Amino acid sequence: MNSFNPIINQYLLDIPYHQKEIMEVLRNLILNAAPGIEETYNYKIPFYNYHSWLCYLNKTKNGVDLSFTKGNQLSNSQGLLEYRNRKLIASIEIRSLQEFYEKEMQLHEILQEAILINQTIKSSKKIK
């Protein structure tokens, strides 16, 4: 299992409980998606790296956004990703723990696809 970043632990203590509980389950999902995922604190929010930026978590008015930095490359076969007029980033807003658990398998699939994209990009750079 990948380790928790103490800065993110502190960040979670300082946000409203509703968002904290959603972020905690998303955080666990991300960190357990593949060995070697690294948790960092950038732009005042939690970021997750796997060979390069993978995704990040951001508070929204009603919950938490799980945002993928290469979202434009994801298939969105689950139909959950929202692009909101962004060219690269795609995200999924989770508004409750119940919604998280209803979508957990689909979120895991999207994470695995994003991980595969980052692995492919890393591999293609080695070949050159």
Report pLDDT digits (tens) over 65-96: 999 999 999 999 999 999 999 999 999 999 99
- For the chain, give the percent of residues with pLDDT over 70: 94
Q: What is the mean pLDDT of residues 100-115?
A: 97
Long-range contacts of 48-52 (CB under 8 A, 24+ apart): 50/114, 50/115, 50/118, 50/119, 51/118, 51/119, 51/121, 51/122, 52/118, 52/121, 52/122
Domain 6-127 of CATH type 3.90.1150.200: yes
pLDDT for residue 32: 95
Domain locations in the chain?
6-127
Pairing relationship of beta strands 64-68 and 53-59 according to DSSP bridges: antiparallel
Q: Is the pLDDT of residue 128 over 50?
A: no
Give kind and range of the element (H or E) at residue 17.
Answer: helix 17-31
pLDDT for residue 120: 86
